[in-house]
Structure 1
């Protein structure tokens, strides 16, 4: 019997899988053949995903790579299942990020946008977009994204611009858009309002200063980290039930340095347990204070301009806010108003996510969306099941947000973006212009602001399909099937799409399912950032390990709603998996694996054949179940362990034995190998598209696995007897291999042996396989067992006897074991010495003591193993077994 029996050599596979040589060519072939182009006139059921549009100026990061891998896996499977799949790509104009980048480029030329003027500056941004906008699209191709490039969209395309203008006018006419002065996040560097998602919060060192307002019985102490804003205080607030200040409610106290007197108001927002239980109220510079001001009809005094410079007449006028802060504290100290100072004082500070400038809460005239009726509809759509959130536990966070949503500030003080379609005319007239309306004539001026980027991206599920026109795409592919995105933008993007989709599309939800994945962190669980230097570029992984290994690594860690820690060695492990798959397929095809011959009837198959087919059926069902539940980590694990542990490590080895029998058995084994490999490659394809394409087309000779049929379970009843026999064989082979290793035999070394009790253990037909897999030859006439092993199995005990005569150099083995024994005994002595030291035990932490106890147990086990091994040798040191 040979281990690699002769067979038809029809494999055309090179010796090794080299993704860099084939991935790009394979991808372009898929695109050219139109596999990813959706047909709106097809009678197939639709499956739609719209790509969350990355910033046009961005590049692929690990979060993108994870989300794109998820979406590609979902769409590839549905395509194989016979759906008309549309995965629609596009990019976002990224108003503030893009404008900031272009302004930075202008600054390097010594210019500003104001030097160019609005029209020329916007032209410059479009030019810049043409230069850099294709970067991330090329990177998506490298990852293998099966998107419909013929439908590529950009949030400022003409059709999408019409969508924006249409819905703005509809909201405006319905009274759901209004203009009002409210507190917003303001970036003094970017000179614009920011959405909450554009603000990064960090714990910064600051100063907490306690200041006495008023004097005598009419005095009260407040604490603040922003002393400069006291110049705009219009009240002091206390809790209505706080007995310390009840006598002051309604009284007035003097604000130091200003000469103004302000009332003490009672408001339940105040926490009496925090600080002194009294807070200064600056309605124009704090969102909470603004609400207190509205409740108590307080005036709002703006004390700084958009650049963060103090505008109040007096000694602080013209100072930057961070220059004014210590100057104000110094002046208060000089007047004896400082009660206490705490520095450094760690507190949360908001920073502009684009330029890292500390944001300034600022009272400003802005455009707003009245969200109450829209949010109510968005809540109802999830509650009544039109949209399902995965994982379900994140639905509570969705409701917590959408049920308490404040009105949305949609205006931005930028030049790049969708300009607000409102015009101002004589006599304070205001006109909102729709896409089909002519702009008003002379004497009318358009609003200078543009819309928040989230406004246009909130229309993405239907604007990309041609809305407001009633297109074939809209009729076929809306509602979309799945939205896949990170949970971190659940509130900012998902909710906005829900609100706009339900509003514009007559109550039809924008997507049936929302899959929320977690954030990617480094191997220590830390958030990746440039400042930490712990970021990983997915392009580096693709260069080193290939796109398939990169994708598989990310999907293998993708548990719904949970953050994922990754490290490069995991990508290397995924590369090893693709190598294992390649080698297994190359062996199988090199030995005649085929899909051309039908499988023999089950009764003609071996136990190993029926076992692997049953496992394959179970795998197919499990993969389907995990796909439907968005359990990408579980389906990846199932595919990994079946492929590596069951197919490669066991069935291929058993198949070698069956191939060696020749005749019909060899032919049926080739059919089994081809069938299993075919199904595994199709199941793996959505996760690892490139290697499976090469292997499957080589195996089958057919066009492409991209358009192959998705596997389905056969429905055959599993053969429990065959499964039990194979599991017993696996245990027996594993124990013999371990025993051989303990005896000092090399893995490939052959020794004579006998297997007794196989009949009782129901393994009589498996003995040839056991011998082949354990390098055990038939015993000769002079066979004399020198060692033996008993293996308990469910159907009986098998006794294995081996003749090690001449197989082991006893002298050399005794010397090696003696060295190992000395090391283990030294370790035991050290551990016993520490654990016997009362002083050490009294001082050492519990986890340190537990670790030493574990080392002692391991040392004792090793000593016992070595003595047992030595006992198998003859007593004479010169003897050879």
Structure 2
């Protein structure tokens, strides 16, 4: 049965002009509607990759285009090789980003989140998701991504939520997830902890303030000073200072180590501690330590014996000053914004004489005093909130990443997981071996709710300790119950409290303080459990992506429209799911129009078959935030590594190598490139430019060039169609007798081998360039030209028939080899050349099953060298390309003579030579043309004006040499190279290379003239 062609079952005559837009839309819909992205192959070897799930709020950017193109090339390649190729697709719920989008929409309507209950707000997020959350999935389709959309995943799908909860509970039981008080990156605008990935460092203009901290109790230093000078870029934090650190070997301070300081504003008594964090060469060598508001200070404070629970916190969630636990912050600062407090603190310290002015000189050279030393400061900002991040001491949930990292480290060291390029291993080990606890709680409403409930703790006598402490403070007076759902939490609590208590859930989970922890009923005292209000870091759930998408801990996830896919989890435990009526099964995100129904009889052990995955393709920038965490979670929950190989590609940068950013205005929209040049051209560009370990420089001219490549192939196929060359019926190479046909078959053999090796090595650039040069050079430029005289000759119908068969087979091999890179144009040509048994997307990878004929290869390469060299010589000497010339070859070798005598038509047609004479050339000016072991003499008398041509060449040579020398002098000037704009230096280098090459070409032309 033949494959269905969307445009009709009969092969269509190719249009004169290649227009990608229409055929891209046509073929993608056909592939998807017919289930061709994952054809039923239950007995085939698996090949599995998962896409890094893009944010549900996202749209396709140029990085997505690179990442997903490389994945699609691999999945299409393995599908053509007959494997059960599964590309898992889905989106991430993107906790912060999604909540911000919905809240901004509410703000536009003069509404806000806090006008609703948590459940009501989450319902609004789900509504937005189903209306607007599928943008990027449609854009991935435009790129040609052949993902298994019937198994599209979402990190908030109920089956996925169950997996997330199970992981949290299991790791908590093992002590690998715990509650702790530590510093986090706090976004005062979003009022949540954020990960390092969500922090961007910007240069800001700030200051360095110097202050006197007076020594207490009349103590003085050896130099007689009664104070220690400290400097800070954040004066506001002195309200929570807890000590001053000096280097243990700093002679200036040895005598006062252990002494005390009275902090001027708060009156707090601070101890002088010895710690190597204090650099004697930096500033005064003394550092004020605020462990509750600086990551380095936190570690110094711990080494000084200050417990995290005792560290002072001077900010609330909005970074406004609050009273510290010791009550020593002056009232005038309470409630102030941190930056307003900074100004007032400097003012007060100056009034009291504790500010050390910064002395500088004005234009006249006079000394002037300023309050601070101007500094350019590397300042952390939240990438979404857009405000300065505050290190904040708070109770959060943490994963013991150090323990989980060990199996991942061993997997890479042993080779069980291969990182490509290998150069990234050093970076991987450095980070993993120094890994810090992973903060996984976020103060949001949208996301996976942390499965923890709190109630009053029992004292040693079994009595409840009553507390009205804030929900966030779990302190020693709270008992925590971690469980899969409400029922399990209630049972755990009932077991803890005993039969004398009635345990209930407190439904008001958003109170800042608990309601009365227990009440008296008729027979029992009632205890209320409060659910932890936080959600999990988005990276926590996405770390489960390789196995949770396959249904773990079950065998399979339900398909869209099956089972719990028809519901959502609402962000809480599964028993809080909302009925599917509010989210129709035919939503565009989950059900592409015309999508395939579930495949009957499919092997149900999806997890067993496709986990571990085979490959992960990822940008190097998420090596630690996602890739390493998948390794940790995969080993911890399944005992296996999530994949066998990790490929890390570079970033896509602007043409000048600069990082793309909206502020620079150099961002490239891949969808606009697709509109202009087609998806195939953009995909091929991405592959051809993806060289291991290097970033991709965006070059629209190259994209245009690959559109021209697609056009070249289109025109070649159209020529074949017009001369009756059609589809092949054989995977193996046909029999050939002529040298040209044997040669092109051998070229296919070599190309397939090189392509397979490049794909095995994940050298996408080598793979793309291999097939590119075969198509453009060997097939289009040479083979088609060689076969034209054969097809035009009526004297040898057997050779003509053989050539049509070989040409059709070679063109088929080209379409299959090129398909992973350019799927749309190849599928269109595949069907236009004949009736097919299957679509190209599920055809068979080339297996020529033949050897290379060395004699035929040598013969054709001799002809190619002859034609190329004579065309070059004509161009150098200004001879018309079509001019027919005589050639002489006295005493040729037997091998060369045989080649010439076997190919008179090709030599005459392509080299534009009359019959080559095997005799000495007549006297006079001539040029020599090399080909193999032959050196042909081509007389020039009467063809060109020898003297005039020499004069022209000599004049042009002098100009090129002069320009090349001038540019060489400029480039050898270190001052120019160092001080000129980079683009000017690059242009000078390019111009020098051009003139040097031109001079070399002109010199060669003069040499030809003798």
TM-score by length of 2: 0.79
Distance 2:544 2:718 in 1: 49
**Further displaced range: 794-803 or 82-91:** 794-803
- Whether the 8 Å CA contact 1:366–1:411 is kept in 2: the answer is yes
**Further displaced range: 203-212 or 687-696:** 203-212
Secondary structure at 1:444 match in 2: strand
Say whether residues 1:768 and 2:909 are aligned partners: no
2:355 aligned to 324, 337, 343, which one?
337
- Cα pair distance change 1:386/1:822, threshold 3 Å: closer
Distance 1:395 1:854 in 2: 37
- Cα pair distance change 1:732/1:827, threshold 3 Å: closer
- Cα pair distance change 1:500/1:843, threshold 3 Å: closer
For each residue in 1:657-715, what CA deviation from the matched residue of structure 2 results, as whole angstroms up to 9, or x when unmatched? 33233422222221221122111211111111111111122234212111111113535
Aligned match of 2:405: 375
Aligned match of 2:777: 645
Say whether residues 1:122 and 2:139 are aligned partners: no
Distance 1:517 1:841 in 2: 36
Distance 2:990 2:608 in 1: 65
Shift of 1:519: 1.0
- Whether the 8 Å CA contact 1:251–1:264 is kept in 2: the answer is yes
Distance 2:692 2:298 in 1: 38
Aligned match of 2:588: none
Say whether residues 1:679 and 2:816 are aligned partners: no
Aligned match of 1:313: 330
Say whether residues 1:523 and 2:553 are aligned partners: no
Distance 1:423 1:830 in 2: 79
Aligned match of 1:83: 83
Distance 1:590 1:802 in 2: 39
2:792 aligned to 660, 664, 667, which one?
660
1:514 aligned to 628, 642, 646, which one?
646
Say whether residues 1:406 and 2:543 are aligned partners: no
- Cα pair distance change 1:656/1:342, threshold 3 Å: farther
Aligned match of 1:6: none
Aligned match of 2:481: 431
Distance 2:966 2:755 in 1: 53
Shift of 1:766: 3.5
- Whether the 8 Å CA contact 1:678–1:699 is kept in 2: the answer is no
Distance 1:379 1:828 in 2: 57
Secondary structure at 2:231 match in 1: strand
Distance 1:833 1:201 in 2: 43
- Equivalent runs, 1:533-612 vs 2, <5 Å: 533-596=665-728, 605-612=737-744
For each residue in 1:489-513, what CA deviation from the matched residue of structure 2 results, as whole angstroms up to 9, or x when unmatched? 11111121111111111x1111121
- Cα pair distance change 1:484/1:857, threshold 3 Å: closer
Shift of 1:616: 1.7
- Cα pair distance change 1:771/1:130, threshold 3 Å: same
Secondary structure at 2:281 match in 1: coil
- Equivalent runs, 1:473-488 vs 2, <5 Å: 473-488=606-621
Secondary structure at 1:175 match in 2: coil
For each residue in 1:248-274, what CA deviation from the matched residue of structure 2 results, as whole angstroms up to 9, or x when unmatched? 211112323222221111123333333
Aligned match of 2:765: 633
Aligned match of 1:212: 212
- Equivalent runs, 1:648-727 vs 2, <5 Å: 648-662=780-794, 663-702=797-836, 703-712=838-847, 714=849, 716=851, 718-727=852-861
- Whether the 8 Å CA contact 1:237–1:281 is kept in 2: the answer is yes
- Whether the 8 Å CA contact 2:357–2:372 is kept in 1: the answer is no
Secondary structure at 1:220 match in 2: strand
Distance 1:267 1:245 in 2: 12
Secondary structure at 2:539 match in 1: helix
Aligned match of 1:324: 341
Say whether residues 1:160 and 2:160 are aligned partners: yes
Shift of 1:742: 3.6
For each residue in 1:172-223, what CA deviation from the matched residue of structure 2 results, as whole angstroms up to 9, or x when unmatched? 2222221121100000010000011111122322212232322553422222
Aligned match of 1:501: 634
Shift of 1:854: 7.7
1:456 aligned to 541, 561, 565, which one?
541
**Further displaced range: 597-606 or 415-424:** 597-606
Shift of 1:50: 1.6
Aligned match of 1:420: 450
Distance 1:377 1:337 in 2: 53
Shift of 1:741: 2.5
**Further displaced range: 217-226 or 601-610:** 601-610
**Further displaced range: 87-96 or 260-269:** 260-269
2:385 aligned to 343, 347, 355, which one?
355
For each residue in 1:751-797, what CA deviation from the matched residue of structure 2 results, as whole angstroms up to 9, or x when unmatched? 353343494344413443222113345699xx999863212343231
Shift of 1:825: 5.7
Shift of 1:447: 0.8
Shift of 1:739: 2.5
Shift of 1:841: 9.0
2:298 aligned to 270, 290, 306, which one?
290
1:746 aligned to 877, 880, 884, which one?
880
Distance 1:414 1:524 in 2: 40
Secondary structure at 2:908 match in 1: helix
- Cα pair distance change 1:598/1:553, threshold 3 Å: closer
For each residue in 1:735-754, what CA deviation from the matched residue of structure 2 results, as whole angstroms up to 9, or x when unmatched? 2112222443333x343533
- Whether the 8 Å CA contact 1:211–1:221 is kept in 2: the answer is yes
Shift of 1:469: 1.9
For each residue in 1:19-55, what CA deviation from the matched residue of structure 2 results, as whole angstroms up to 9, or x when unmatched? 101111101111122112365x812111111221110
Shift of 1:534: 0.5
Secondary structure at 1:362 match in 2: strand
Distance 2:92 2:154 in 1: 6
**Further displaced range: 853-862 or 659-668:** 853-862
For each residue in 1:289-308, what CA deviation from the matched residue of structure 2 results, as whole angstroms up to 9, or x when unmatched? 11111121234221221111
Secondary structure at 1:425 match in 2: strand
Secondary structure at 2:209 match in 1: strand
Aligned match of 2:753: 621
Distance 1:853 1:12 in 2: 48
Alignment RMSD = 3.3
- Whether the 8 Å CA contact 2:266–2:330 is kept in 1: the answer is no
Number of matched pairs: 850
Which runs of 5 or more residues in structure 2 are unaligned?
Answer: 1-9, 323-328, 359-370, 458-477, 491-503, 506-527, 557-604
Aligned match of 2:926: 788
Distance 2:436 2:313 in 1: 23
- Whether the 8 Å CA contact 1:156–1:417 is kept in 2: the answer is yes
- Cα pair distance change 1:571/1:343, threshold 3 Å: farther
- Whether the 8 Å CA contact 2:47–2:610 is kept in 1: the answer is yes
Shift of 1:606: 2.9
Distance 2:242 2:933 in 1: 87
Distance 1:510 1:54 in 2: 19
Distance 1:696 1:631 in 2: 26
Distance 1:404 1:144 in 2: 40
- Whether the 8 Å CA contact 2:755–2:770 is kept in 1: the answer is yes
Distance 1:143 1:798 in 2: 51
Distance 1:632 1:854 in 2: 28
- Equivalent runs, 1:15-26 vs 2, <5 Å: 15-26=16-27
Distance 2:968 2:853 in 1: 53
Which runs of 5 or more residues in structure 1 are unaligned?
Answer: 1-8, 873-881
